[in-house]
Amino acid sequence: MLQESDTFLITPLEHQNIVWFKASNTYVITEKLTTELLIQISQNISENDLIKWCKQSLGLHKSQSLILINKTKALYNNQNTAKILTPTPQYFKKPSLQDQIIYFYQIAHQVFKVSFENEALAFLIHPKFAHLCVAEADFDFDFKVYFNNQDVVLEVDKSVIGIWKKKEIEYFQGKFSMCLIEKLYQKPEADWMGVFHASAISDGEKCILFTGDSGNGKSTLAALLMVKGYNLLADDFAPMASKNSQIYYFPAAISIKENAVPSLSDYFPKLNTTTQHYFKNLNKKVRYLAPTLNQKNQIEHLPCKALVFVKYDKNIDLKCEKMSQELAFQQLIPDAWLSSETNNAQQFLDWFATMPCYQLTYSDNELMYQTAHKLFNDDL
């Protein structure tokens, strides 16, 4: 770390820097000289002194200096403004939930009771956890999901956690999953460094995060690696604790898109008859494949040894190469949830700096297996 501040953190990234702004919990990659200018702006250095610095350090004329200074000030002011959160209403009429749909999910030795006001709300959560269903039982945690007018409300153990508009459904689903791991591992949100949109695959000792844009085959890759005896720690929602920088098991099923079913049905015949779910807001059809993780490993957590950015390309048998950390960072951040706690942000930056990053493009499954084996065994 180069600089500690009340407002931001700075960490080197190859030939540039990553700047984390505390107020907005935002990460920005900047040139090193721009970073130095940011530091001076944060220290309220006068404009005349900033112009002198630009002339001495960059050889800029006054007009050029002012353009750069104003641009950097705008970056500082924009990112140093806290995001406005929609407040949770303090009072609203709760539904009677007389016709509620109730499921009991067992994870390891803990039982979660989840009540949904109707089928539409159950559809948002239940399919990915259906494999965990058990008969009605004594439960450890009580989740309720219901409507307040047109908004979705999440209540956990009689406390309202949040309320979301229809267009914010993905944020509701993410918060539901976050509450689940908080209860499962008895770790509040502040104890989690981040959650990554990735498939976490384990060999029993360490794990690799396979990530990439939706539709690029990371979940299909995860399913295929299960066939070869690897364990799935998490798919799409890979939580990392701040205490040990390790990825924790998340029990959701693997989301298999419609076009991937033919390539997997030979290994998982039940996929052919598994219910297909259509998510209108995402315009995608998926089926859910339960992970083949042993019961005794259901609270497993392991260190991550690499980040692999996956892309399926039918025209390329296999190509795996080291990736610049700058590009990897730019691809990892947009879909990740990262803690707004300063200590967690610094820990994330330190962790990322140690991670080898790879781009894996493939269409040949056997070559992909061999490459994954090499990655786990440091033989690439």
pLDDT tens for 269-287 read 988 888 888 877 667 789 9
Q: What is the mean pLDDT of residues 56-65?
A: 92
Q: Is residue 276 part of a domain?
A: yes
Q: Is residue 95 part of a domain?
A: no
- Give the rounded distance of the alpha carbon of 245 from its chain centre: 14
Clarify whether residues 138 and 266 are in a common domain: no
Burial 208-227 (b: 16+ CB within 10 A, else e): bbbbbeeebbbbbbbbbbbe
**High-pLDDT (> 90) share of the chain, %:** 73
Domain end call among 168, 186, 204: 186
pLDDT tens for 201-219 read 999 899 999 998 877 788 8
- Give the rounded distance of the alpha carbon of 206 from its chain centre: 19
Clarify whether residues 216 and 167 are in a common domain: no
Which runs of consecutive H residues, i.e. helices, occur in the chain?
Answer: 32-42, 47-58, 62-79, 119-125, 169-185, 218-227, 261-264, 325-332, 342-354, 365-376
What is the structure's pLDDT at 296?
46
Clarify whether residues 360 and 234 are in a common domain: yes
φ, ψ at 372 (rounded to 5°): -60, -45
Clarify whether residues 259 and 362 are in a common domain: yes
Question: Distance (Å, rounded) from C-alpha 38 to C-alpha 252?
Answer: 42
pLDDT at 299 over 70: no
Residue 165, domain extent? 101-186
Of 79-93, 95-109, 148-162, the least confident = 79-93
Please say whether the beta carbons of 187 and 197 come within 8 A.
Answer: no
pLDDT tens for 229-266 read 999 999 999 999 999 999 999 999 999 988 888 889 88
Q: Which residues contact 140 (CB under 8 A, 6 or more apart)?
A: 110, 111, 112, 183
Query: Across the beta sheet with 26-31, what order do the strands follow?
Result: 3-4, 8-13, 16-21, 26-31
Pair of tokens at residue 113: 């009771």
Clarify whether residues 219 and 331 are in a common domain: yes
Residue 84 pLDDT grade (very low, low, confident, very high; cuts 50, 70, 90): low
Q: Is residue 170 part of a domain?
A: yes
Q: What is the mean pLDDT of residues 137-153?
A: 93
What is the structure's pLDDT at 279?
78
What is the structure's pLDDT at 379?
81
Number of domains, the chain: 3
pLDDT at 354 over 50: yes
Q: Give the CA distances from residue 228 to residues 102, 167, 223, in Å, rounded to whole numbers and listed in that order.
A: 36, 39, 9
pLDDT at 87 over 70: no
**High-pLDDT (> 70) share of the chain, %:** 92
What is the structure's pLDDT at 298?
58
Q: Is residue 39 part of a domain?
A: yes
pLDDT at 106 over 90: yes
Question: Distance (Å, rounded) from C-alpha 22 to C-alpha 156?
Answer: 28
Q: Give the CA distances from residue 306 to residues 11, 55, 155, 207, 309, in Å, rounded to whole numbers and listed in that order.
A: 20, 42, 36, 8, 10
C-alpha count within 13 angstroms, C-beta hemisphere, residue 27: 25
Domain end call among 146, 162, 186: 186
Q: Which residues contact 250 (CB under 8 A, 6 or more apart)?
A: 177, 181, 233, 234, 235, 237, 238, 239
Clarify whether residues 161 and 223 are in a common domain: no
Please say whether the beta carbons of 85 and 171 come within 8 A.
Answer: no
Q: Is residue 90 part of a domain?
A: no
pLDDT at 297 over 50: no
